[in-house]
Amino acid sequence: GVKAAMGNQSLGFLDSWLSEIKKVRNKHEKKIFSKYAVEKKRFEKMCEANVAEQVHNVVNNPILQAAWARGQDITVHGWIYNIQNGRLTDLDVSANALKFVSPVHKLTFPNAVSKGDEPIDTLEDILEKNEDWAAAQDPAFLRSLVPSQKPTYLWLGCSDSRVPPNKVLGVGPGEVFVHRDIANVVHASDVSSMSVLEYAVHHLKVKHVVVCGHYGCGGVKAAMGNQSLGFLDSWLSEIKKVRNKHEKKIFSKYAVEKKRFEKMCEANVAEQVHNVVNNPILQAAWARGQDITVHGWIYNIQNGRLTDLDVSANALKFVSPVHKLTFPNAVSKGDEPIDTLEDILEKNEDWAAAQDPAFLRSLVPSQKPTYLWLGCSDSRVPPNKVLGVGPGEVFVHRDIANVVHASDVSSMSVLEYAVHHLKVKHVVVCGHYGCGGVKAAMG
């Protein structure tokens, strides 16, 4: 992401998303280029500057300001990850009070809680866990990840802390490119998920796109009710459409509320698969003969197992007539069998079997994560792996180049839910050296 924003080459849909990183380049380029002559060092410093700017965006956001005004204990951190050695570094741009908000962004809150100068919790304990994880890795393997990423899978999943993709799939860094948001929603007007989809399909040439939901999804549950949740209402409107389409059939067939909820979670996955399959990005890939399959899975928090919902698609014939586009010279392919990814589902089965059943059951009632991770989609930076923590500890939003800005409904919905509803203690904006988005913005 950062790499792309350092250049001037048009990348299609991605250009709109990268404009935010271009702003970072515009602000910092002169200072960085005058101080550093070596291109590699300039690139590294631009990656760090991007993290600092996204921290700035979070700190100045009304969501954080409102939290601090009511006395909530929450700290924002900026970290950078080194793919080559597996280690995280604190960039010393943390903030934990209204005093860190810039004057131009500062809002007035009646009855704001006045707090003293609280010391910054630098999360030494979690950084030590990362140090332990990095020390346990094969140095040659980590170095092999540096030149580029070549993931096989794109995971479009929920931000829920209980569903960390690399953990439940039993795979390591470099294998899964990831986008995570509230309730695994994928729709054509969301620049965040569309940028990830385009980059994964057109540039990384992933073989499989997995839309994965989970039983007990809070976003689906909220959409089944009518209570206003503020900023989240806009995001949940997409799931309300799923409810509107499927509620009558589900409610007439199932009398038990728990079963209705489960079926609505499944329906949401199926609808998001439908959105991906009908998207012009997938249609264009199939038209040029690209080998790519879209899957819909559901995760059971209680037993740790994934289930294929049998809504897969691997060709233009699966596109609905109303969405089907015409492509000159489209490649005509025969009826290719669906690759159901039995190998990766077996890895999940092995992972689930190795978990403590009592621990998994303890996650079911609700999630209580301590951290919100705002990170890059890059397959080489899986948060739960590099932090050395398990399911339930980190709520996550991932997009191209860890961008967080107030006009992005996806990241704002995650930020609001994590801060106001889950009451996380720490928001970590984490970038990484070698970020493709920053590199593209530098040219």
Active site residues: 158, 160, 162, 214, 217
DSSP state of 118: P
316 backbone dihedrals φ, ψ, rounded to 5°: -60, -25
Q: Do residues 256 and 301 touch, judged by C-beta distance below 8 A?
A: no
**What are the E-state strand segments in 353-420?**
371-376, 394-399
**What would the two tokens of residue 245 be?**
């389409």
Q: What are phi and psi of 294, to 5 degrees?
A: -105, 130
Cα Rg of the chain (Å, integer):
21
Dist. CA 443–CA 440, nearest whole Å? 6
CB 230 within 8 A of CB 275: no
Residue given tokens 């040029």 in the structure block: 288
Q: Cβ–Cβ contacts within 10 Å for residue 369, how many?
A: 23
Helix (H, G, I), strand (E, B), or coil: what is residue 4?
Answer: helix
First to last CA, the chain: 13
Cβ partners under 8 Å of residue 57, min gap 6? 404, 405, 406
Pairing of β 87-90 and β 75-82: antiparallel
CA–CA separation, 305 and 353 (whole Å): 9
